[in-house]
A = this chain, B = another copy of it.
Amino acid sequence: MMYGAIEAGGTKFVCAISDERGELKEKISIPTTTPEETLEHVFNYFDSFELSAIGIGSFGPIDVNPTSPTYGYVTTTPKTAWKNFDFLGAIKKRYAIPIGWTTDVNAAALGEVKKGAAMGLSSCVYLTVGTGIGGGAVVNGELLSGYGHPEMGHIMVRLHPDETFKGTCPYHGNCLEGIAAGPAIEQRYGKTGHELTSDSAVWEMEAYYIAQALMNYTLIVSPERIVLGGGVMKQAQLFPLIRQEFEKLMGDYVELPPLEEYIVPPALGDNAGITGCLLLAAEQLTN
């Protein structure tokens, strides 16, 4: 029994296969170009294995509603080549095996709950802060979805008193992603995050926004843990700043674990998503 996994990101696809026990065995990385070209590489890789199931965690928005006519499609993405592309359908056409389908961040949340920083818990929010901001969650042991999937990166947050930047989001301007993702930092200051590492004002403002988002996730979903991944979160100085701002905002209103245990980096690092995709593949055969 061997599983395949696709973590489909906006800039790269990671494909992996498991060993017989379902553990990550090997993975490759493919640049995300057009659907045809990218999937050609995916097929070339998977064709040489005998897979029992595949798990896909895709960038979004995607249609995860099994009753919808466009179930399995990538929908309103700004990446035009992928807009309204029947991603799940293309994989199903090639491989007549069970295929799990969710968002990249839901997959990462699943990975962190089952094998990572939230192991042993039945709920967790996973937020990635990188070129975009996206969140997924596990609630009562199951992936969070309803009419669609979460799009936690696009919530509205209160603007910082010193904010002058208009925001980068084509849909919402200065929603969380629009003012706090990597491109917002770069455009606001004209420098990359790496070049700004020692500038404390940059990270205080960033923490101000992320802490507000975590407050809202906490008050709405009440997860047992929040895992923060993605390129921007590699600025490790952000963690204490976020916890401090979060504590101030929450005002002791709800009971929470110690914040060092509540707001944490991913234990699986960059493998959170692909690990979750393998777990999702395995779930297809047990459900």
Contacts and interface: CB of A to CB of B under 8 A. Distances in A.
Per DSSP, are chain A's interface residues mostly helix, strand or loop, or mixed?
loop
Interface string A74-85: 011000000000
Given A140-B139, A140-B140, A252-B171, A219 B146 contact: no
A151 interface: yes
A255 B75 contact: yes
A222 interface: yes
Contacts of A148: 222, 254-256
A142 B140 contact: yes
A149 B255 CA distance: 10
Contacts of A250: 171
A221 B219 contact: no
Interface string A125-168: 00000000001000110101111111110111111000000000
Contacts of A157: 156, 158
Interface stretch (A51-59, A90-98, A210-218, A270-278): A210-218
30 contacts: A63-B255, A122-B146, A139-B144, A140-B140, A140-B146, A144-B221, A144-B222, A146-B222, A147-B224, A147-B256, A147-B257, A150-B219, A150-B220, A151-B219, A151-B254, A155-B216, A156-B157, A156-B158, A156-B215, A156-B216, A156-B249, A157-B158, A158-B158, A171-B251, A171-B252, A171-B253, A172-B251, A216-B216, A217-B220, A220-B221
Interface of A: 61, 63, 68, 75-76, 122-123, 135, 139-140, 142, 144-152, 154-159, 171-172, 212, 215-217, 219-224, 249-257
Contact of A220 (B135, B172, B254): B135
Contacts of A220: 135, 150, 152, 155, 216-217, 220-221
A146 B158 contact: no
Nearest to A170: B251
Nearest to A212: B156
A68 B149 CA distance: 31
Contacts of A221: 144, 146, 150, 220-221
B222 A145 contact: yes
